[in-house]
Amino acid sequence: NAGVTQTPKFQVLKTGQSMTLQCAQDMNHEYMSWYRQDPGMGLRLIHYSVGAGITDQGEVPNGYNVSRSTTEDFPLRLLSAAPSQTSVYFCASTSRGPVYGELFFGEGSRLTVL
């Protein structure tokens, strides 16, 4: 029972570098999303997808790109990393509606941008 798998768990980048955080789920969930968690800010929605080929912006999308070519995968791309993107990133998925069920979370990816 893999659930939601995120890689890598830890990453250090220099300002201006690019990278992709991977997220995969094996529960055939339509809805997938990326959150970032910063102290005192809770979980803020970056991007989400309600199905393959469909993505939409959340609260804090700037500096991040996503794509959803398959139901299983939802990678998050940082094109030019900035120190403000230092955070813990969580991928989550759930079956889709019309009312969403439980969001299942990955273990998180801790990103540091120097």
Partner 1 sequence: GQQLNQSPQSMFIQEGEDVSMNCTSSSIFNTWLWYKQDPGEGPVLLIALYKAGELTSNGRLTAQFGITRKDSFLNISASIPSDVGIYFCAGQGGNNDMRFGAGTRLTVKP
Residues interacting with partner 1, by CB under 8 A? 4, 31, 33, 35, 40-45, 48, 50, 56, 58-59, 90, 92, 94, 96-97, 99-103, 105-108
In whole angstroms, how close is the CB of 16 to partner 1 at the nearest point?
Answer: 29
- Six-digit token string for 1: 């029972």
In whole angstroms, how close is the CB of 113 to partner 1 at the nearest point?
Answer: 20
Report the 10 Å Cβ neighbour count for 111: 21
Integer Cα distance of 58 and 43 in angstroms: 11
End-to-end Cα spacing for the chain: 36
In whole angstroms, how close is the CB of 72 to partner 1 at the nearest point?
Answer: 18
